[in-house]
């Protein structure tokens, strides 16, 4: 068989003609296909996504908002059917809301529950500063487990959303349904990337610099005629719609402007580019399974950490449809071939869990999914190993599933990246902004790996009275685990607050952090809404104007001056005002929140920029909000009777600049750098 492995340092050794011939030679060597099956069709797209897991599907949804021509391929035959990731964190739900697909996930999943901590009475717990409060004790002298703490769910503390517990496949299905209803992007299943061609240097004269040879597999994962398995909109049975594609060719060449590798922990793209990883090989073996449990354990519908000195550790997570996820530490590890020491692994895992949960009983009749793992922590050295290629999700970082972070951080990776690609491809933004993907997301991944190491150590620590206990770790990192504390440092897309603007005008908002949500009242109809609910993912920058009280002398005049500046004199005035064919929203959307009574008649004096007019849809009155009780101003740290404040949010809802009305020239400087 002809070897066509492509290494980064040998990126230009073939011409396209030799490259295509190499593909034909490969299939010819298999002696399975007729000559009609060996032709190589081609396509040209803005974006190729390799991997249709959560990261890849989120990338496709973002790309659709910019009307980028996009192909997404996956060597699997369908989306994830059972098991795998099981938690959707607060920030991820905010992102899903911005796409308009959160409601079904909220209905399908189990809501955030209390967290309970159980330990065996043989362990000599030392309460420190009241960290552990004994709520229930039983069989203290026998070594059986007892509940030592119940932590109430923190819904609404950090976000309007709490955590939702739902299997990965259902999340993927919601993405796929959205793509089917809102775009022409369809997942091409049973497509394996086989060959990669790219230039050694970035030459702007060559638009489609990336070429990927794709093999078509049959439903068994072997080479065969082209076949697409598409999950279109499903009924409750989630039946599989199968249809032959129009082309019988077993191979295809995709030419792309950019490529995002979302192809998992064993990423083919990462290996082809010889991307090294920072790796921590310290790992322990765990088994995981989803069952419908039959048990007398009182907290089975709560999330639990159970640690028993003689029997090890387990973790339970309640799931949808009465399922419960069990994580069971394998004290004997795995065999050399990574297989378990049992001919019936699910039954063996349940027996281990039951011993840990003694004196409670545990059995089952239905197992939805099971697996085992021994995951080393690793992070790619560079998330942008080539100017036109990016790594995301498990292709960029891997860790244990202990913190319920994998699917969430993966979705947040591509949510950070694709709007920048959209700005470059459809709006002419300087590609320099693409550098921020690596500088913003890689530090998040490194912090995640550190958190994962701490969590795993805490779950495996039999002396739970130590400061490294599960509760302390989760509490200390709660904001990061929810995804709401992620903060990006100064860059071309986040100003240095010591140089530009006046961040002190909004004391409780951090530059680089996603804008916290707070409730306001819609001026036009009096409905209460979360402000961030209006920050939809449509490709627009959002300028939030907080003028404070409108009755202050000169305040309306200042707003008129601001509107005139934005409309006529500033750099922003030259940006497109309305929707663009390559973007769902305008280049910049202006909202404002005042602290005066909602019935003030001064709002009739507003300029058009605050209630824009569309020839088809008419006036847009959904841009003005009131904060009559001062809650929003207080939560953001803005003076309700002050001079006012402006907050600029990026298309991904992270704050880029904070300043006063007199700092408007800073915005011109900011946008002119990359627009």
Q: Map out the domains of the chain with their CATH numbers.
A: 40-108+161-279+375-485 (3.50.50.60), 115-151+284-373 (3.30.9.10), 503-672 (3.40.30.20)
For residues 259-271, average pLDDT: 95
Q: Quick one: which of 135, 65, 67, 48 has its CA closest to 101? A: 65
pLDDT for 480 equals: 94
d(CA 283, CA 285): 7
- The first and second tokens of residue 48, run together, are 């190729």
For residues 540-548, average pLDDT: 93
Dihedral sign for Cα atoms in the order 79, 486, 61, 41: negative
What does the pLDDT look like over 115-138, one tens digit per residue?
898 988 655 444 344 444 444 433
550 contacts 601 by C-beta, under 8 angstroms: no
62 contacts 422 by C-beta, under 8 angstroms: yes
Confidence label for 6 from pLDDT (cuts 50, 70 and 90) = very low
pLDDT for 388 equals: 95
Q: Between these two residues, 382 and 216, which has the higher pLDDT value?
A: 382
Q: Between these two residues, 13 and 270, which has the higher pLDDT value?
A: 270
d(CA 48, CA 69): 9
For residues 521-540, average pLDDT: 91
Cβ neighbours of 265 (radius 10 Å) = 16
Q: Structure pTM?
A: 0.84
Q: Which segments within 167-285 are labelled E, that is strand?
A: 187-188, 191-197, 210-216, 227-230, 241-244, 251-261, 277-280
pLDDT for 243 equals: 28
d(CA 223, CA 350): 38
pLDDT for 89 equals: 93
In the block, tokens 């490709």 appear at 539
Q: Which of 319-323, 456-460, 491-495 has the highest mean pLDDT?
A: 491-495
Confidence label for 384 from pLDDT (cuts 50, 70 and 90) = very high
180 contacts 186 by C-beta, under 8 angstroms: yes
Q: At what angle do helices 54-65 and 168-182 cross, to 10 degrees?
A: 20
**Omega prior to 228 cis, within 30 of 0:** no
280 contacts 398 by C-beta, under 8 angstroms: no
Question: By CB neighbour count within 10 A (0-12 exposed, 13-18 middle, 19+ buried), where does 199 fall?
Answer: middle
Confidence label for 381 from pLDDT (cuts 50, 70 and 90) = very high
pLDDT for 570 equals: 65
Confidence label for 20 from pLDDT (cuts 50, 70 and 90) = very low
Confidence label for 444 from pLDDT (cuts 50, 70 and 90) = very high
Q: At what angle do helices 54-65 and 90-99 cross, to 10 degrees?
A: 40
d(CA 307, CA 119): 5
Mean per-residue pLDDT of the chain: 81
Return the DSSP state at 32: -
Q: Is residue 152 predicted with pLDDT exceeding 90?
A: no
pLDDT for 525 equals: 85
Q: Between these two residues, 462 and 332, which has the higher pLDDT value?
A: 332
DSSP bridge pairs for 287: 328, 372
pLDDT for 470 equals: 81
370: three-class secondary structure by DSSP: strand
Tell me which of 9-18, 210-219, 252-261, 645-654 is least confident: 9-18
What does the pLDDT look like over 580-593, one tens digit per residue?
555 555 688 889 89
CA angle 439, 441, 442 (to 5 degrees): 70
pLDDT for 32 equals: 34
pLDDT for 618 equals: 67
């Amino acid at each position: 068989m002809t070897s066509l492995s492509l290494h980064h340092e040998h990126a230009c050794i073939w011409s396209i003609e030799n490259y295509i011939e190499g593909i034909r030679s490969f299939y010819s060597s298999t002696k399975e296909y007729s000559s009609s099956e060996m032709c190589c069709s081609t396509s040209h797209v803005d974006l190729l996504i390799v991997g249709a897991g959560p990261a890849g599907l989120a990338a496709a949804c973002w790309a659709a908002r910019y009307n980028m021509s996009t192909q997404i391929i996956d060597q699997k035959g369908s989306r994830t059917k059972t098991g795998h990731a099981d938690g959707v964190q607060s920030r991820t739900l905010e992102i899903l809301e911005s796409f308009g697909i959160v409601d079904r996930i909220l209905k399908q999943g189990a809501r955030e529950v209390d967290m309970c901590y159980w330990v065996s009475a043989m362990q000599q717990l030392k309460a420190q500063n009241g960290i552990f409060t004994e709520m229930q004790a039983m069989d203290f002298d026998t070594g059986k487990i007892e509940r030592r703490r119940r932590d109430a769910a923190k819904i609404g503390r950090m976000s309007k959303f709490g955590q939702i517990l739902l299997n990965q496949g259902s999340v993927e299905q919601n993405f796929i349904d959205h793509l089917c209803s809102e775009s022409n992007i369809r997942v091409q299943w049973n497509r394996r990337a086989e060959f990669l061609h790219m230039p050694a240097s970035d030459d702007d004269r060559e638009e489609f610099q990336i070429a990927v040879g794709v093999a078509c597999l049959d439903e068994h994962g072997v080479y065969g005629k082209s076949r697409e398995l598409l999950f279109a909109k499903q009924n409750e049975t989630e039946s599989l719609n199968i249809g032959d594609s129009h082309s019988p060719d077993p191979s295809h060449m995709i030419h792309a402007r950019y490529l995002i590798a979302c192809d998992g922990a064993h990423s083919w793209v990462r290996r082809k580019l010889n991307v090294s990883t920072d790796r921590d090989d310290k790992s322990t073996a765990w088994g995981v399974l989803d069952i419908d449990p039959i048990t007398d354990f009182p907290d089975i519908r709560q999330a639990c950490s159970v640690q028993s000195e003689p029997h090890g550790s387990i973790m339970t997570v309640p799931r949808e449809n009465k399922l419960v996820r069990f994580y069971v530490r394998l004290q004997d590890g795995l065999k050399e071939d990574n297989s378990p020491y049992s001919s019936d692994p699910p039954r063996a895992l349940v027996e281990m869990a039951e011993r840990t949960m003694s004196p409670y009983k545990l059995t089952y009749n239905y197992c939805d999914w099971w697996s085992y793992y021994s995951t080393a922590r690793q992070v790619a050295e560079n998330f942008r190993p080539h100017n036109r290629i990016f790594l995301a999700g498990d292709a960029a970082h891997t860790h244990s599933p202990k913190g319920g972070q994998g699917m969430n951080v993966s979705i947040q990776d591509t949510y950070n990246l694709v709007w920048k690609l959209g700005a470059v491809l459809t709006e002419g933004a300087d590609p320099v902004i693409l550098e921020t993907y690596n500088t913003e997301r890689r530090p998040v991944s490194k912090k995640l790996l550190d958190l994962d190491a701490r969590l795993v150590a805490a779950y495996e620590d039999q002396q739970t009275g130590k400061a490294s206990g599960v509760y302390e770790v989760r509490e200390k990192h709660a904001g990061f685990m929810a995804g709401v504390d992620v903060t990006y440092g100064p860059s071309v897309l986040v100003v240095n607050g010591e140089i530009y603007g006046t961040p002190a005008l909004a004391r409780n908002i951090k530059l680089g952090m996603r804008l916290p949500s707070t409730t306001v009242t819609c001026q036009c109809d009096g409905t209460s809404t979360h402000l961030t609910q209006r920050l939809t993912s449509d490709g627009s920058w959002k300028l939030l104007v907080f003028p404070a009280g409108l009755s202050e002398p000169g305040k309306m005049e200042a707003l008129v001056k601001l509107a005139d500046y934005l409309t006529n004199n500033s750099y922003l005035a030259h940006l497109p005002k309305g929707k663009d064919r390559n973007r769902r929203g305008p280049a910049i959307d202006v909202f404002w929140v005042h602290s005066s009574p909602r019935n003030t008649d001064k709002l009739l004096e507003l300029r058009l920029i605050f209630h824009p007019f569309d020839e088809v849809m008419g006036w847009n009155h959904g841009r003005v909000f009131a904060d009559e009780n001062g809650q929003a101003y207080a939560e953001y740290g803005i003076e309700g009777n002050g001079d006012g404040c402006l907050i600029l949010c990026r298309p991904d809802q992270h704050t880029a600049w904070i300043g006063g009305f007199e700092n408007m020239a800073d915005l011109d400087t900011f946008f002119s750098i990359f627009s």
